[in-house]
Amino acid sequence: MQTKTVYKPTEGLTERDLTYCPGCTHGIIHKLVGEVLVEKGLIGEAIGVASVGCSVMSYEFFNCDMQQAAHGRAPAVATGIKRVKPEHTVFTYQGDGDLASIGLAEIVHAAHRGENITVIFVNNAIYGMTGGQMAPTTLIGQKTSTSPVGRKKKGAGEPMRMSELMATIPGATYLERVSVHDPKHIRKAKKAIEKAFDVQTNEQGFSMIEFISTCPVNWGIQPNDSLNWAVENMIPYFPLGVYKDATKDGNDEK
């Protein structure tokens, strides 16, 4: 009997077991990024920057040269790499605590300078690695270990919308928010990643794809219900879509 391979793990990822919790969508996002890097022939020459948070170990998973950055500094580290290795594909992989809180200056200024890098931004509305504390992206009323009765607008402010904020930056070229809660959206998310790396390959500047992600363990919700929770609570506040596309007319700075 002949067997036909219909599915196999991407060579864009190493054979290491992922360290993510069951039901978390980091695994799907890793796979998509790995697939795109392989399909575009970039995996052998890419340099990835891991951040601090749940994805700190991503330097063990992406099957290319990797550098692990201090908390929030991945865009600065990627800037240093890309400036001395402009012919190589450089990407960061960051969570919402890393990118939207401690690393806000670095992400904003990397975009402002129009650094020709790609940012994979995973937003699960919570600090996962440290055990479920409130993030800048935590929703109003959402309970976390540092907002035990739910996030309050007074004192904590409203959740930060990064794609919208970044869309005001002249130097940013491509910004899209996607979700991976069902196959249709996963396919769309992959297209967004392809677009982002194309922007870099074509030397068109800064690209960032924001992923609506889940954290079943720290949300205290079953994996399937977590996907529904993201759809019902996160997507209304963080609408999906392209927030900026300056690939046709060139970005405002050029």
Partner 1 sequence: MAKVLMKGNEAMALAAIKGGCDAFFGYPITPQNEIPEYLSYHMEQNGRVFVQAESEVAAINMVYGAAGSGARVLTSSSSPGIALKQEGISYMAGSELPAVIINVMRGGPGLGGIQPSQGDYNQITRGGGNGDYKLLTFAPETLQETVNVVKASFALADYYRNPVMIAVDGLIGQMMEPVDLDQPIEEKPMKEKTWAATGEAEKRGHRNKIVSLHLDPYELEKHNLRLKAKYDEMKATEQRYELINMENNPEIVFVAYGSMARIARSAIEALKQEGIEVGMIRPIVIAPFPEKAFDDLPGSVKTLLTLEMALGQMLQDVQIVNQGRYILDFYGRAGGVVPETEEIVEKVKAVLKEAGHAN
Q: Based on CB atoms, which residue is closest to partner 1, 114 or 159?
A: 114
Collapsed DSSP state (helix, strand, coil) of residue 122: strand
Pick the stretch among 71-79, 143-151, 167-175, 215-223 that binds partner 1 (CB under 8 A).
71-79
Residues linked to residue 140 through DSSP beta bridges, in sequence order: 151
- CA torsion, points 228, 242, 203, 109, in degrees to nearest 10? -80
Of the candidates 36, 196, 33, 178, the one whose C-alpha atom is nearest the C-alpha of residue 116 is 196
Is residue 54 near partner 1 by the rule CB under 8 A?
Answer: no
Pick the stretch among 85-93, 169-177, 199-207, 223-231 that binds partner 1 (CB under 8 A).
85-93
What share of residues in the chain are helix, strand, coil (percent, to 5)?
Answer: 35, 20, 45
Is residue 46 near partner 1 by the rule CB under 8 A?
Answer: yes
Is residue 88 near partner 1 by the rule CB under 8 A?
Answer: yes
Residues linked to residue 212 through DSSP beta bridges, in sequence order: 123, 179
Is residue 13 near partner 1 by the rule CB under 8 A?
Answer: no
Q: Based on CB atoms, which residue is closest to partner 1, 24 or 90?
A: 90
Among 24, 33, 36, 56, binds partner 1 (CB under 8 A): 56
Among 9, 16, 105, 232, binds partner 1 (CB under 8 A): 105
Among 73, 190, 195, 244, binds partner 1 (CB under 8 A): 73
Pick the stretch among 22-30, 62-70, 159-167, 206-214 that binds partner 1 (CB under 8 A).
62-70
Burial tier of 10 (Cβ tally within 10 Å: 0-12, 13-18, 19+) = middle
3-state secondary structure 44-94: CCCEEEECCCHHHHHHHCECCEEEECCCCCHHHHHHHHHHHCCCCCEEEEE
Where does the chain have alpha helices with state H?
Answer: 26-39, 74-84, 96, 104-112, 153-156, 162-166, 183-201, 216-219, 223-229, 235-237
Distances (CA, A) of 179 to 162, 191, 202, 209: 15, 12, 25, 10
Q: Based on CB atoms, which residue is closest to partner 1, 70 or 221?
A: 70
Pick the stretch among 100-108, 149-157, 162-170, 205-213 that binds partner 1 (CB under 8 A).
100-108
Within positions 110 to 139, which residues make up the interface with partner 1, using CB under 8 A? 113
Is residue 81 near partner 1 by the rule CB under 8 A?
Answer: yes
Pick the stretch among 102-110, 120-128, 175-183, 245-253 that binds partner 1 (CB under 8 A).
102-110
Which chain residues interact with partner 1 by CB under 8 A?
14, 43-47, 49, 56-57, 59-60, 63-70, 73, 76-81, 83-85, 88-90, 105-106, 108-109, 113
